[in-house]
Chain A
Amino acid sequence: MIKSSMIKKRLLALLTVFACSSAMAAETGVVLKPDQLRADAFSDAKVVGNVSKNDAVDILNKKGAWLQIKSSGKTGWVRLLTVRRNSASGNNIAGVVGVATGRSGTGKVVSTTGIRGLSAEDLKTAQFNETETKKLESYAVSADEAKKYASSGGLSSQQYPYFLGGAQP
């Protein structure tokens, strides 16, 4: 019963299915980097095939940071960053395409419809609010408190270097 509404409201559905595996509407994507297709959504699952850069794929499912994809007739799981989803969604194709082709980030102003959100102008004309600032500061926690809270969730500090790959191709 939930599934039929998911198909209609794909976005809403996607926001609610992180943790659990569930069916999704047909969606497509492109392979960003070569990877192995795995039989299940974990890193030591059996390898059932390979994908190459720029392969077109169907995205069948999502489970945590894994996507189940179908490529050249083979189905399997890859990590999230292996595939770029093709932007899509219902009645807003024009807007999506506009941004995609504009490759934004170039200061291109996207025309908006519907509810007007927070704008740059709102921020420019805003006045400093001491009361809210003090309130924000009242919520601060010390490094030790934060560490305790982390430990209580089973988190511990790990040693990973920053990624070495250069930005921008």
Chain B
Amino acid sequence: MNQMTLKQAMTLAVCTSMMWGTAAALDLKGVLKDVVNDQMGDTNKTGQAAPAANASSQDKLANINWKDPSQEDEIAVGRNVTGTILGAVPLVNDAKLQQYVNKVGRWVASQSERTSLPWHFGVIDSSDVNAFAAPGGYVLITKGLYQRLSNEAQLAGVLGHEIAHVVQRHHLKVMQKQALMDAGTSFLKEKISKNKITQRAVSTGAEISARNLDKSAEYEADSMGTVLAARAGYDAYGLAEVLQEMELLPSNDGSVALLFQTHPHPDDRVAQLSLVSGDQIDKISGGKTLENRFYKLK
């Protein structure tokens, strides 16, 4: 950790007293901005603090520029978030399934604005009905959701929704806010290293991947995901069909509890998608469903 200058120390003293009243407001302007800039914006000055068992990936994480993350930063964060979810729930042990989902997902992602990301898709071994996206192109869906799908167009729609979150950096933005806020508060209070701040942001990232997005981000992902699947040549109604099936799931079933906690109710999602797509979706024709080659999971 670099030495603080006198000016920095004074700045800290000034804003310590106001932090506890206003931290939640996320006001990073003014004096706090200087501190955060010093701490989070310069990737050269920090990061040496990490004693590393797992040097290279730790180093990458320690050097995240939270103010203006590069694509490499984004991928490093997303990899860590994804690995943390996988720490809770491993992949389904079925290489053919995983490869299939990657082929479909990568093709849908190729229709987006971020084709250069190293996209990764996986099915995790949970009977829950849910899917997750993490920054940098990581997408996981649960076995419970996969088993409810009946054709490739539906899979493409679900993956399209998650791809849209990545394209729009929905989760990354939430994590940035958290890291910058944490940088303000914890640095002032405990002189915590940037590495630790990043670790905190990432560890909550796994949870953020499942929640904390506002409703409009979910509706936007439904809308964009539908179009991405249609651009890939699939029937445009895949995601809508899945949402309509979810309308019928009992909400007090444990397998959908997290989904229903973290997303608008499927009723509202169907209604929004209907509204947003208007008659534009009817102009999409000739899409395929490909139920014949849909990989069936036992």
Chain A interface residues toward B at CB < 8 A: 10-11, 14-16, 18-19, 32-33, 43, 64-65, 79-82, 84-85, 87-92, 94-96, 98-100, 103-105, 107-120, 122-130, 132-133, 135-137, 139-143, 145-147, 149-150, 153-169
Interface residues as binary, B182-224 with A (CB distance below 8 Å gives 1, 0 otherwise)? 0000000000000000000001101101110001101110011
Residue picked from B87, B276, B278, B293, most chain A C-beta under 10 Å: B87
A116 to B196, CA, bound (A): 32
Contact: B271 with A84, CB < 8 Å?
Answer: yes
Total A-B residue contacts, Cβ distance less than 8 Å: 298
Contacts of A18 in B (CB 8 A): 150-151, 154, 241, 291
The segment out of B11-19, B21-29, B65-73, B88-96 that lies at the interface is B88-96
Contact: B84 with A159, CB < 8 Å?
Answer: no
Contacts of A119 in B (CB 8 A): 257-258
A156 to B230, CA, bound (A): 10
Interface residues as binary, B230-255 with A (CB distance below 8 Å gives 1, 0 otherwise)? 11111111001100110111111111
4 interchain residue pairs of minimum CB distance: A65-B237, A92-B250, A105-B264, A155-B233
A18 to B151, CA, bound (A): 9
8 contacts between A and B (CB under 8 A): A65-B235, A87-B247, A113-B252, A142-B106, A158-B284, A163-B226, A165-B280, A167-B276
Number of chain B residues close to chain A: CB under 8 A = 109
Contacts of A64 in B (CB 8 A): 235, 237, 289
Interface residues as binary, B109-128 with A (CB distance below 8 Å gives 1, 0 otherwise)? 01100010011111000111
Chain B residue nearest to A11 (CB atoms) is B248
Contact among B122, B219, B237, B281 with A167 in the assembled complex (CB-CB below 8 Å): B219
Asked if B177 lies at the interface with its beta carbon under 8 angstroms from chain A, I say no
With A123-B207, A136-B91, A154-B288 in contact, is A162–B122 under 8 Å at CB?
no
A124 to B223, CA, bound (A): 29
Contact: B253 with A92, CB < 8 Å?
Answer: yes
Contact: B255 with A117, CB < 8 Å?
Answer: yes
Contacts of A90 in B (CB 8 A): 250
A105 to B244, CA, bound (A): 17
Min Cβ gap A31→B in Å is 10
Chain B interface residues toward A at CB < 8 A: 54, 79-80, 82-91, 95, 98-99, 101-107, 110-111, 115, 118-122, 126-128, 130, 138, 142, 148, 150-152, 154, 203-204, 206-207, 209-211, 215-216, 218-220, 223-224, 226-227, 230-237, 240-241, 244-245, 247-258, 260-265, 267-268, 270-278, 280-282, 284-285, 288-291, 293
With A95-B252, A136-B86 in contact, is A159–B231 under 8 Å at CB?
yes
Chain B residue nearest to A153 (CB atoms) is B290
A81 to B241, CA, bound (A): 9
Residue picked from B104, B223, B247, most chain A C-beta under 10 Å: B247
Min Cβ gap B171→A in Å is 13
Contacts of B220 in A (CB 8 A): 167
Contact: A81 with B255, CB < 8 Å?
Answer: no
A146 to B87, CA, bound (A): 28
Min Cβ gap A76→B in Å is 16
Contacts of A98 in B (CB 8 A): 251
Contact: A95 with B227, CB < 8 Å?
Answer: no
A158 to B111, CA, bound (A): 9
A113 to B219, CA, bound (A): 28
A130 to B80, CA, bound (A): 9
A98 to B83, CA, bound (A): 35
Contact: A100 with B265, CB < 8 Å?
Answer: yes
Min Cβ gap B125→A in Å is 10
Min Cβ gap B130→A in Å is 7
Contact: A126 with B274, CB < 8 Å?
Answer: no
Contacts of B285 in A (CB 8 A): 43
Contacts of A114 in B (CB 8 A): 252-254
Contact: A146 with B106, CB < 8 Å?
Answer: yes
A169 to B120, CA, bound (A): 35
Contacts of B236 in A (CB 8 A): 65
Min Cβ gap A151→B in Å is 9
Contact: B278 with A141, CB < 8 Å?
Answer: no
